[in-house]
Amino acid sequence: MKQLLILFTGGTIGSRKQGAGIDVNESGSYALIDAYDESAMRRDDIVLHTAQPLNLLSENITPADYRTLAAAIRDVDRSKYDGVIVTHGSDTLAYGAAMVSYLFADTRMPIVLTASNYPIADERSNGLRNFANAIDYAADEELPGVFAVYENDLGEPLVYLGTRMTQAVSFTDQFGSPYGVPYGMMKDRRFEWRDHPGNPSPASLSRRPPAQPDWKPDTLRIDDGIVYIKPYPGLNYSYYDFSARRPKAVLHDLHHSGTACAAPDGPYSLPRFIERCRSLGIDFYICPVRDRTDALYSSSLRLIEAGAIVIEKMSAEAALMKLMLALGLHDDAEKARRFVTGGALFYETNEA
């Protein structure tokens, strides 16, 4: 008999329609268990145990909430359970999956995050199916690591490595992954690995060397001293005035080809903004860059020449969470840089 622990954190999967809106509900999360027990997907060979460390919509999550979730997972008696499932809001699922992946990079049991597009009482909801597939994956595959399970618009229950999930897009609510390659999918309630040169084989998950950051629940810091900027035509950097209060770092997203405005001067010049930030002692990171050894546009090279630190082969979501953790773990900026740009903790670097 498999024993799984379900950790509820709220989100749409634990919400109910209340008046004209949707919000977390004290009984919403446990209604998911009731719906599962009453469904044809229920299994008699699995015992579900529950706890609720958080109960909020995931767009409201803060570093303090991540610490609460981390403490709840760390407190799990690993001799008692075969896996952990975390129900999470879909709005920030990709960020939460990445953060949990870093904090529990050495887990020897499956930790599976899942979510829902609508409250489970809504006939359009994929939440119950996502939950059932997460249970099947955790119970049957026994693969150590952090994963996310979520059904796409084709009805395919995709499985993602926790650091290789990108935020859902507006209008379609579809999650992505670097190069469009998920880790696999559930088919007839069993996992099928997506054989791809960039995907670690299931067998290699058990053989991977431990790469666990050193942290304790009572002293864990996840630093919010970061400004994250997305480029667009007409982005005027003169509005970013850090002279009075300085972030520890800026993470600047890039266009798909690894570029942003590299005009030599003026308010739209990213190189000038990078230099201004560096003069204030602010580390400046750029991401995503597929591979800095490939031919780069001249505009990309100007950003590097101006002092930008390149985070390559990593999604912006994975990079942002790793940077927040790095700054929390390391007061020394150089150690934080090495933590972010050095070796991977849990497959966050992507190969084509």
pLDDT tens digits, one per residue of 243-270: 999 999 999 999 998 999 999 999 999 9
- From the list 12, 87, 92, 107, the catalytic residue is 12
Residue 194 shares a structural domain with residue 232: no
* Total count of domains within the chain: 2
Residue 102 shares a structural domain with residue 250: no
Residue 22 shares a structural domain with residue 100: yes
Q: What is the pLDDT of residue 346?
A: 96
User: Does residue 188 carry a pLDDT above 90?
Assistant: yes
Residue 166 shares a structural domain with residue 265: no
Residue 237 shares a structural domain with residue 150: no
The CATH number that applies at residue 137 is: 3.40.50.1170
The CATH number that applies at residue 250 is: 3.40.50.40
Going by C-beta distance under 8 Å and a sequence separation of 6 or more, which residues neighbour residue 45? 1, 2, 139
User: Does residue 53 carry a pLDDT above 90?
Assistant: yes
- Chain position carrying tokens 């469009």: 180
Helix (H, G, I), strand (E, B) or coil at 157: strand
Q: Find the angle CA(28)-CA(161)-CA(190) to the nearest 5 degrees.
A: 75
pLDDT digit string, tens, across residues 109-137: 999 999 999 999 899 999 999 999 999 99
pLDDT digit string, tens, across residues 221-250: 999 999 999 999 999 999 999 999 999 999
Going by C-beta distance under 8 Å and a sequence separation of 6 or more, which residues neighbour residue 23? 15, 16, 57
Q: What is the pLDDT of residue 26?
A: 60
> What's the CA gap between 142 and 190, in Å, rounded?
12
Joined together, the tokens standing for residue 143 give: 């693969």
Active site residue 12: yes
Residue 247 shares a structural domain with residue 113: no
User: Does residue 19 carry a pLDDT above 80?
Assistant: no
Residue 285 shares a structural domain with residue 255: yes
Range of the domain at 264: 226-341
Question: Is 351 domain-assigned?
Answer: no
User: Does residue 78 carry a pLDDT above 60?
Assistant: yes
> Taking the CA of residue 272 as centre, how many other CA atoms within 13 Å lie in the half-sphere pointing to its CB?
13
Comparing 54-58, 65-69, 295-299, 337-341, which segment has the lowest mean pLDDT? 295-299
Q: What is the pLDDT of residue 212?
A: 79
What's the N-to-C CA distance of the chain in angstroms?
40
Q: What is the pLDDT of residue 209?
A: 78
Greatest mean pLDDT among 19-23, 170-174, 248-252 lies in: 248-252
Q: What is the pLDDT of residue 5?
A: 97
pLDDT digit string, tens, across residues 3-14: 999 999 998 888
Residue 196 shares a structural domain with residue 321: no
Question: Is 220 domain-assigned?
Answer: no
Residue 31 shares a structural domain with residue 171: yes
Residue 172 shares a structural domain with residue 236: no
Q: What is the pLDDT of residue 210?
A: 73
Q: Indicate the pairing of strand 249-252 with strand 190-193.
A: unpaired
Residue 146 shares a structural domain with residue 179: yes
> What's the CA gap between 319 and 300, in Å, rounded?
18
pLDDT bracket for residue 291 (50, 70, 90): confident
Per-residue pLDDT, averaged over 176-198, amounts to 96
Per-residue pLDDT, averaged over 195-199, amounts to 94
Residue 274 shares a structural domain with residue 179: no
